[in-house]
Amino acid sequence: MARLANAADFLAISNCLCFVNSAASTPYACFPSDSTNPNRFPISSIPNNVDFDSSFLDRIASNFLDSSNNKKCNFRNLGKSRVFMSVSVGSRTSVDDALFAEYKPSCAFLFPGQVSDTFFFKFEALNVPAAADLYRKANEILGFDLLDICTNGPKEKLDSTVISQVKSSYLCDKPSCSRGTRTREEGQQIIDSVDVTCGLSLGEYTALAFAEAFSFEDGLKLVKLRGEAMQEASDAARSAMVSIIGLDSEKVQLLCDAANEEVDEGDRVQIANFLCPGNYAVSGGLKGIEAVEAKAKSFKARMTVRLAVAGAFHTRFMNPAVSRLEAALATTEIRTPRIPVISNVDVQPHGDPDTIKNILARQVTSPVQWETTVKTLLTRGLKKSYELGPGKVIAGIVKRMDKAADIENIGA
């Protein structure tokens, strides 16, 4: 398996996802103490009878053995990439879901959501061996040539929910970092410095993959199924999404309330994406969305922008997708992330794999709490962040919330 040695390789592989677990063995995932990264739990906090249910570099394995405290550690070398703490309880393994509750962010990777425009992938990505390998794996898993579709279209297929979600999460539009923007050493330093991550909507899968909560193969299968399930749910009812620009969240809610007074229950709308002050996305039935658009000016909205998505994401309209996601997640191996991954649903980092599965199933019907996520990171002391992927939507949101925030876009 190819080794992912630097940020250039990482970014060339994916516009959002860093498949560290399947494509690389990286030393930054190993942390024998908490001195360099406060978000990675200290060995001194490990109770007796701990089972390290993951892998780490053999050369530092001895650092985890503490005979003086009689810690009984079982090291299973699965991939030399990550470590998490679990405690055996009877026949099952229990992981503390609040493992990262006291996280102190310093440097973050932020991943965008579904890319709905018609950007096309570049063949330069194939010049990076690890990227070419992942393209081939993706084609085998998906059953179609993703690179060919993203390069040649047709547009209607490229814009489908399935293709949009897969392309947004798993492959790059251009290997910008491999164009010499950084030395290999500088790129690796960036990767090593990341101690928290999160993603907008679909980007949460990206963040979980970067944190090695699941493998490239499993992540790709989940995103493909998620896109299919959401497309089917969208086809079952006439629905849409619209961005409201220039209003705060309270006024957007009042706008939704006014629109809901004029439509049937089945067409009611709600705020689906809390992006940042002055930018909120509303989802709901088509008639409800049309009512929102018609009333927006009277509420002094600067403008409305209909989103190029299949339906009312992050609302009850996606309920039919939940059961399919739950079934797929139930059979997917999800592990404790190696660093905190902030959930879109409740703005918390979760350590328990079962809780993560539940959160991912709920996410498609729950409003995206991105505004609160960014505020929380900044309040907790975030010093530097990177947006990975096409466009600069995330960077724009962060700057709107804090003009002094240090954020850099990589992959635009």
Catalytic residues: 201, 314
State the Cα–Cα distance between residues 26 and 211, nearest whole angstrom.
12
Residue 154, preceding bond cis, omega within 30 degrees?
A: yes
Residue that has been written with the tokens 């962060």 in this structure: 398
Q: What is the DSSP string of 277-294?
A: TTEEEEEEEHHHHHHHHH
Strands annotated E in 209-263: 239-245
- Which two tokens mark 28? 């930054």
Sequence-distant (≥ 6) Cβ neighbours of residue 68 within 8 angstroms = none
Tokens standing for residue 277:
């002050």
375 sits in which H/E element: helix 370-379
Helix (H) or strand (E) holding 407: strand 407-410
Q: What is the DSSP string of 62-81?
A: GGG--GGGT-------SSSS
What amino acid occupies position 6? N
User: CA 190, 382, 17, 36 torsion: positive or negative?
Assistant: positive
CA dist 169 and 15 (Å) reads 7
Q: Which residues pair with 349 in a beta bridge?
A: 342
Distance of alpha carbon 326 from the chain centroid: 18
Separation between Cα atoms, residue 285 and residue 258, nearest integer Å: 14
